[in-house]
Amino acid sequence: QVQLVDSGGGVVQPGRSLRLSCAASGFSFRKYAIHWVRQTPGKGLEWVAVVSEDGKNRYYADSVKGRFIISRDNSKNTLSLQMNNLRTEDTAVYYCARDAGQLAGITYYFDYWGQGTLVTVSS
């Protein structure tokens, strides 16, 4: 069955970096775009970034553009989110989520989600 396992969260000081990972199994990873979506009690669910099936196209929310980098390794069925210059407002549970379109471009909706990993940015 489709499975996405998020990892890498933790407590980090403002201005520092953290790298999240997502391990995928149970489907043809290379055929799907993959997203990161985050959730906070205050702002709710917020889309963060997406990488296309082949890794060539990447798009970001304005709130993280220039600080976060999404990437994927189709040989290892893994997704990463490199988060630099972290801010307190980046504190959230981060989910990787599979795009619902298969080799059909990016649909920007999410049919499977990881369990989430908590990132806390605090001094």
Partner 1 sequence: DIQMTQSPYFLSASVGGRVTITCQASQDIGNYLNWYQQKPGKAPELLIFDASNLQTGVPSRFSGSGSGTHFTFTISNLQPEDIATYYCQQYDDLPPTFGPGTKVDFK
If binding is defined by CB under 8 A, does position 57 make contact with partner 1? no
Q: Which is nearer to partner 1, 88 or 115 (CB)?
A: 115
Contact indicator for 24, 79 with CB cutoff of 8 Å: yes
Q: Is 113 in the site for partner 1 (CB under 8 A)?
A: yes
Out of 103, 109, 118, 122, name the contact with partner 1 by CB under 8 A.
109
Is there binding between residue 108 and partner 1 (CB under 8 A)? yes
The binder of partner 1 chosen from 51, 86, 95, 119 (CB under 8 A): 95
Q: Under the criterion CB under 8 A, does residue 100 sit at the interface with partner 1?
A: yes
118 binds partner 1 (CB under 8 A): no
- DSSP codes of every residue in 12-78: E-TT--EEEEEEEESS-GGGEEEEEEEEETTTEEEEEEEE-TTS--EEE-TTTTTTEEEEEETTTTE
Pairing between β-strand 117-121 and β-strand 10-12 as defined by DSSP bridges? parallel
Considering the rule CB under 8 A, would residue 61 count as an interface residue with partner 1?
yes
Which member of 59, 69, 74, 84 binds partner 1 (CB under 8 A)?
59
The verdict on 9 binding partner 1 (CB under 8 A) reads no
Burial (CB < 10 A; 0-12, 13-18, 19+), residue 102, is: middle
